[in-house]
Structure 1
Amino acid sequence: MSDVKVEGFKTSNTLAALAQVFESYSEEEKKKEIKKTNGIFELRIKNAEGKEAIWTIDLKTSGSIYKGQAKSKPNVTLLMSDDTFQQLADGKLDGQKAFLTGKLKTKGNMMFATKLDGVLKATKTKAKL
């Protein structure tokens, strides 16, 4: 399994679980997810200490999650706190509400960012988060 954990970030546990789900997909399931989403999310997350970590969810080419900047141009870059991502992943915070209240900032295709919620929900049930 690709190592996506970063010390001091709750987000890394969630993304590690999602990465395992992606890795458990058959080639057919992976192709289906890639076709449905067809894009790359770059997540820039700041923790309580103000440190930033970057992860990429690639649902355009590889159907994987990895630590670090996107290898090719992301469709959208999402900037938020560790807590905000956790609330989004847990379904306790709506992405649009987070954006409108300034908890979530985007660079790139803002409409594509709305697809992240679907990705999190689809894989969350399998990851048992």
Structure 2
Amino acid sequence: MSDLSVDGFKSSEIIEAIHAFLSTANETERQSQIKKTNGIIEFRISNAEKKEAVWTLDLKKTGKVTKGPAKPKADVTLLMTDDVFQQLADGKLNGQKAFMSGKLKTKGNMMLATKLDGVLKAAKATAKL
């Protein structure tokens, strides 16, 4: 269990897979992902017990995942449940449908949220989510 893991959150595995993908990618791949995304994404995920976990994905400068709120400010904040994030990562739920149905809420640059799918697919291919 890494320092990114939060007890009671299935999303921890997904976040760790994204972290593993970014930390094992060569510099060219990491820079390519940063260039494609060009933003800081903050995840605010709530579980069945109504607890919230916060992670930040910096694909603007560092190409790293950290636990806690974004510093500097996130370009987009994604709010969803643990189950919804799991479904998005598994490809069982489309981000646009999740947003339209109210399962996924955003604050900030909504267009940046659409780039998350590419990050999840890349991490899934590498980590076998």
Query: Is the partner of 1:56 in helix, strand or coil?
Result: strand
Alpha-carbon distance in 1 for matches of 2:2, 2:68:
12
Other-structure match for 1:32: 32
Q: In 1, are the aligned partners of 2:21 and 2:122 still within 8 Å (CA)?
A: no
SS state of the match for residue 102, structure 1? coil
Does residue 23 of structure 1 match 2:23? yes
Give the secondary structure class of the aligned counterpart of 1:73: coil
1:11 match: 11
* Superposed counterparts of 1:1-129, under 5 Å: 3-129=3-129
Q: TM-score, normalised by structure 2?
A: 0.96
Listed one character per residue, the Cα deviations across residues 88-123 of structure 1 (whole Å, up to 9, x for unaligned) are: 000000001001111000000111110001110122
* Structure 2: unaligned runs, 5 residues or longer: none
What letter matches 1:58 in structure 2? D
| Aligned-pair CA distance for 1:2 | 6.1
Query: Percent identity between the aligned chains?
Result: 64
- CA offset at residue 124 of structure 1? 0.9
The superposition leaves residues 62-104 of structure 1 with CA deviations (integer Å, 9 ceiling, x where unpaired) of 1011110111121100000000000000000000100111100
Q: CA RMSD in A?
A: 1.2
Unmatched tracts of structure 1, length 5 or more: none
Helix, strand or coil at the partner of 2:17: helix
Is the CA contact 2:42–2:57 (under 8 Å) kept in the aligned structure 1? yes
TM, length-normalised to structure 1: 0.96
TM-superposed CA distance for 1:13, in Å, is 1.1
In structure 1, distance between residues paired with 2:104 and 2:36: 23
1:5 positional shift? 0.3
Structure 2 residue matching 1:3: 3-state secondary structure: coil
- In structure 2, C-alpha distance between the alignment counterparts of 1:26 and 1:122, rounded to whole Å: 13
| Residues 9-54 of structure 1, C-alpha deviations (whole Å, 9 max, x = no match) | 0000111122111110112221111111111110000000000000
> Any idea what SS the aligned residue of 2:48 has?
coil
SS of residue in 2 equivalent to 1:85: helix
